[in-house]
């Protein structure tokens, strides 16, 4: 039943010279504009100081969410990337919080609602009495020549404090096809 439709399409395509042949195909992953690929996600740093709620709203306005950290590989990649993009910024909001949770040491990622199982705490943390939201925080050491930041680690903070923030969004995956016909070629990106 499908065969006659295919033959009809092929004949019409040949008649109008619009039958294309896929010359090559590959899958690519890219980040949205202004985001940078770090590990397996796209990140954007905003150095403007906002509280947790304003930071979350800003990320959502970009079709993104506040940063969540899955594992040590992701944390290491973030710590390698941050000095080049924000060399003098010691603190950033993440999506980690315990808003609405009665257990004092249970934190969730805002974006997924999942329990945060990997929590790379800064020394002396967590201190649940200091707030309900999680920041990445680095120590700053001043020398006569420069300011040196340690690795960023998680710390508990009051959600109304101000800090920069990091937005994340997943990589956009496309299949690209190089299509040929007798008079031209074009490249098509097809979301996967």
pLDDT in tens, 57-71: 999 999 999 999 999
pLDDT at 182: 57
Asked if pLDDT for residue 18 goes beyond 50, the answer is no
3-state secondary structure string, 128-176?
HHHCCEEEEECCEEECCCCEEECCCEEEEECCCCCEEEEEEEECEEEEE
Mean pLDDT computed over every residue of the chain: 85
Stated pTM of the model? 0.78
Whole-angstrom distance, CA of residue 2 vs CA of residue 104:
62
* Cα distance between residue 98 and residue 110, in whole Å: 9
Q: Do 153 and 136 touch, CB atoms closer than 8 A? A: yes
Could you read off the pLDDT of 103-155 as tens digits, one per residue? 778 999 998 889 999 999 999 999 888 899 999 999 988 888 887 889 999 99
Q: Which of 143 and 86 is assigned the larger pLDDT?
A: 86
Hunting for tokens 């649940």 — which residue is that? 128
Q: What is the pLDDT of residue 147?
A: 75
CA distance 188 to 173: 13
- The pLDDT, as a whole number, for residue 6 is 44
């Amino acid at each position: 039943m499908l065969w006659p439709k295919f033959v009809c399409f092929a004949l019409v395509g040949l008649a109008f010279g619009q039958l294309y042949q896929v010359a090559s195909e590959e899958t690519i992953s890219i980040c949205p504009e202004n985001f940078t690929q770090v590990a397996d996600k796209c990140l954007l740093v905003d150095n403007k100081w906002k509280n947790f709620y304003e930071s979350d709203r800003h990320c959502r306005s970009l079709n993104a969410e506040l940063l969540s950290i899955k594992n040590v590989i992701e944390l290491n990649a973030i710590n390698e990337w941050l000095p080049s993009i924000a060399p003098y910024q010691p603190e950033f909001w993440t999506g980690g919080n315990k808003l609405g949770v009665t257990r004092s040491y249970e934190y969730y990622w805002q974006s997924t609602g999942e329990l945060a199982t990997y929590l790379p705490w800064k020394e002396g943390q967590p201190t649940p009495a200091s707030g309900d939201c999680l920041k990445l925080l680095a120590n700053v050491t001043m020398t006569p020549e420069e300011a040196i930041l340690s690795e960023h680690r998680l710390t508990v903070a009051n959600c109304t404090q101000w800090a920069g923030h990091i937005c994340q969004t997943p990589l956009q995956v496309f299949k690209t096809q190089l299509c040929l016909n007798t008079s031209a070629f074009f490249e098509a990106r097809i979301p996967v």
